[in-house]
Structure 1
Amino acid sequence: MLIIVNDDTSAARRVLVVDPAPGEQALTELTALAGLGLVPTVNVRRVHDAALRARIAAAWDTVDFDGFDERELGRRLEDEGEGYEVLKCRAGIPLTRAVLEQATGERLRRRLVLAGRAATGSDTFDHRAARDLGVAIRTTPGANASAVAELTVALMLDALRAVSRRDRELRAGAWGDATTGLPAPGLSDARVGLVGTGAVSRRVADLVRAFGGEVLVLGSPRFTPDRAAGWPGQRVESLAELLAACDVISVHVPATPETAGLVGEAELRAMRPGSVLVNTSRAAVVDEDALDRVLRDPAAGPARAAVDVFTREGARFSSPLTSNPHCTLSPHAAGMTRSATREASTRLVDEFARFLTGGAQRGTTGENGRAG
């Protein structure tokens, strides 16, 4: 980790830590931020361990607010006119134009100049507004790629082998129900189609091939045959071709205007009967309502799905899929391994250090949250 120590407290900049790294990593992260000459104010709303909360409060100023509430976030960034130069988060907080305008208001003593998220994407950030208002955005692309790929393959296996369904039926004492559908398909028998060619998708391809599965992949127009030459999977030309050819479809693209609704009802019904859909990317890419309807129709489309991302998450979580017996749900946990969160936290601190010292920009994101 790159650490720059600044002992001049009069020159210190304030950082609002909307959600620190989980567990003990929070203390390491906050100490590192302080080592950059930043003065942290820590939001402890998502710090559930009372002992950890106390240790944070003993060393730094703390607040307690809902970081997903746009109005509250804007108010906290204004901080009664004091303001902050830096914001750090790890969740998809609503850094909208309205919030950014509040955080950069002329009447503030300190104006926001840097916002960072310890994650790959930043699709809940208004990048255009950030550019207009002079706020740099930093993320940690690829830091959780292995973690997301692991859960993606685990969800594939659950959907193919019906692990969670058989567990529920055995707990209910229904041995006969638990053994329906046997023998089950395996990943070694499957042709897996990947939508997207980023770090997560490539890692998924490696894992699937290790199980003996066949991999097909669809990329953007930039994913030319030349670029696909060294990729661990066969390139296809269209989404229609991928959907028709594969037993499992797994989605790995960012949320952009181009990918919104990419997999809707028509695409789902074009999938092979009895196939599986896995979404560990972004909720906007796969239409939740359409997925719910198609899964309930045995005549066409996927027989099972596994979903880690939802339109409404957190305390406000709701989804039509909660009552769907053909879908396995996961609480946006794909990237949440200890090593992945540690890597993302460390890399974001490094990005902050480079920004504060005028160094090279590595984790810069473009308007749509993709690494640039």
Structure 2
Amino acid sequence: MPGKKLSVVVTRRLPDIVETRMSELFNVRLREDDTPMTREELIGAVADADILVPSITDQIDAGLIGRASERLKLIANYGAGVDNIDVATARQRGILVSNTPGVTTEDTADMTMALILGVTRRVPEGMRLAQSGEWSGWSPTAMLGGRLRGRRLGILGMGRIGQAVAKRAAAFGLQVHYHNRKRLRPEIEDALEATYWESLDQMVARMDIISINCPHTPSTFHLMNARRLKLMKPDAVIVNTSRGEVIDENAMTRMLRAGEIAGAGLDVFERGHEINPRLQALPNAILLPHMGSATVEGRIEMGEKVIINIKTFADGHRPPDLVVPAAL
């Protein structure tokens, strides 16, 4: 579509600098308030636009794609994960899908380490005590957590983020172990000083800390199910900065309440922002509102990737971050 100023609909508020640049380049319709579009608004958007820019809060399913006009040719997702989009159906309709991979790797790995430290050293409990006015002073036996050095960290999913977590973990003296769909090349394993486990069950049973860093796909839904969670040591903790659906949240909550798992650090939840009240009430769970990628730098870089994908497509070329269904 070279030479044509494309009609672009953006479903959520983006950083000002990103919206300004989009307005300069495209015929763009921006979101006025920072709330998700309703189903009706999304139907209107796909009927109206050459390009849709959704985020993870938008379900772009087969039914919605079926309502799209012939004009819609690209869904340029603002985010790396595309489990909110029926990519296969989109491609069958001749609609390309792009995403923003790699941008939030470092930010999410930082948050993973923050949660590991927060859970093992009981940081939120200490904050609540200090802020309550009830702290009576230092004691040799008060607020005892665990030392990171020497502990075993099991990383579930050794892609970009998993490897970034491994590098940080090594600096804290953690022993790095991992399970992945495919084993890493020997030189990468050696550089990360990481031990591969073909059996997830065996790895889970022997780790002090489990970090979830794999995407949500049909094969990873409830990968950490009740049976597998019960393999964890009672003094082990679990951290998730990937997707909530990878863990059976109800089973994990029951085990945390019963002391069968020592703690959890969660930035994502199985039902999005609807967090289980029983989980919210637990003192041994740190819960964050999906902050893993929430840095100013990261959000702007995501927007820049979206713009590059759209501009490249508008110039008649393949978007650099094209999502291929077979690779999911």
Asked whether the two chains share a fold, i.e. TM above 0.5, the reply is yes
Which SS does the other structure have where 1:325 is aligned?
coil
**Alignment correspondent of 1:128:** 88
Asked whether the 8 Å contact 1:170–1:178 carries over to 2, the reply is no
Q: Does residue 103 of the first structure (1) align with residue 72 of the second (2)?
A: no
**Alignment correspondent of 1:14:** 7
Gaps spanning 5+ residues in structure 2: where?
Answer: none
Residues 137-196 of structure 1 deviation map (CA, whole Å, 9 limit, x = unaligned): 110111100000111100000000001012112333443699666542122232111000
TM-score normalized by the length of structure 1: 0.81
Residues 100-122 of structure 1 deviation map (CA, whole Å, 9 limit, x = unaligned): 11123x5xxxx211111221111
What is the root-mean-square deviation of aligned Cα atoms in Å? 2.5
**Match runs of 1:34-113 below 5 Å:** 34-36=23-25, 38-46=26-34, 66-67=36-37, 69-78=38-47, 83-104=48-69, 111-113=71-73
Give the CA deviation at 1:318: 5.0
Q: One-letter code of the match for 1:367?
A: P
Q: Does residue 256 of the first structure (1) align with residue 214 of the second (2)?
A: no
Q: One-letter code of the match for 1:66?
A: P
**Match runs of 1:273-292 below 5 Å:** 273-292=234-253
| Percent identity of paired positions between Structure 1 and Structure 2 | 27
**Alignment correspondent of 2:230:** 269
C-alpha change, 1:133 and 1:93, in structure 2 (3 Å) is: same
Aligned length: 327
C-alpha change, 1:258 and 1:227, in structure 2 (3 Å) is: farther
For the residues of structure 1 that align with 2:190 and 2:316, how far apart are their CA atoms?
37
C-alpha change, 1:224 and 1:98, in structure 2 (3 Å) is: same
C-alpha change, 1:204 and 1:178, in structure 2 (3 Å) is: farther
Q: Does residue 365 of the first structure (1) align with residue 326 of the second (2)?
A: no
Gaps spanning 5+ residues in structure 1: where?
Answer: 1-5, 47-64
Q: Does residue 233 of the first structure (1) align with residue 194 of the second (2)?
A: yes
**Alignment correspondent of 2:311:** 353
TM-score normalized by the length of structure 2: 0.91
Q: Which has the higher contact order (CA 8 A, sep 6+)?
A: 2
C-alpha change, 1:101 and 1:219, in structure 2 (3 Å) is: same
Give the CA deviation at 1:223: 4.0
Which SS does the other structure have where 1:175 is aligned?
coil
In the alignment, which of 91, 95, 104 is matched to residue 144 of structure 1? 104
Asked whether the 8 Å contact 2:157–2:214 carries over to 1, the reply is yes
For the residues of structure 2 that align with 1:211 and 1:327, how far apart are their CA atoms?
22
For the residues of structure 2 that align with 1:329 and 1:178, how far apart are their CA atoms?
27
Q: Does residue 304 of the first structure (1) align with residue 297 of the second (2)?
A: no
For the residues of structure 1 that align with 2:68 and 2:264, how far apart are their CA atoms?
41
For the residues of structure 2 that align with 1:332 and 1:245, how far apart are their CA atoms?
28
C-alpha change, 1:189 and 1:178, in structure 2 (3 Å) is: farther
Residues 263-289 of structure 1 deviation map (CA, whole Å, 9 limit, x = unaligned): 011111111111110011001100111
Give the CA deviation at 1:313: 2.9
C-alpha change, 1:324 and 1:182, in structure 2 (3 Å) is: closer
In the alignment, which of 175, 183, 200 is matched to residue 214 of structure 1? 175
For the residues of structure 1 that align with 2:322 and 2:109, how far apart are their CA atoms?
23
